[in-house]
Amino acid sequence: MYINRIGTFRDHPDLYGVSVYFQGCDAEPKCFMCHNPETWHISEKYKRDPEKVLEIIDEKLSRLLTHFKKVSLTLLGGEPLAPHNRGEL
């Protein structure tokens, strides 16, 4: 799985949460005015162990849930459902 970054952001319209930015976008043509063009290209430097990614997400969600009743998990890109991410996602 190719991950650009994982963080606690406000990418959901109503909730604080964890955002997972995937690396690599297979859309052609690319989305007009894409706000993450730096996530388009795949590079081995973004290759992550899926189990470690789940640990990081779980830790961040757990931390947020100590402060908020509801939180979100947002999958962004790049493209989370691109073939190179789909199986592990």
Q: Which residues pair with 72 in a beta bridge?
A: 17
Q: Determine the residue type at 47.
A: K
* Number of domains the chain is built from: 1
pTM of the predicted protein model: 0.90
Owning domain of residue 71: 3-86
Q: Tell me the DSSP string of 1-51.
A: -BEEEEEEE--SSS--EEEEEE-----SSPPTT-S-GGGSS--GGGB--HH
Q: What is the pLDDT of residue 22?
A: 96
**Token digits for 59?**
């830790």
- Cβ–Cβ < 8 Å for 23, 2: yes
Q: What is the pLDDT of residue 89?
A: 87
**Token digits for 85?**
């991410």
pLDDT (tens place) for every residue of the chain, 89 residues total: 999 999 998 888 899 999 999 999 999 999 999 989 999 999 999 999 999 999 999 999 999 999 999 999 999 988 999 999 988 88
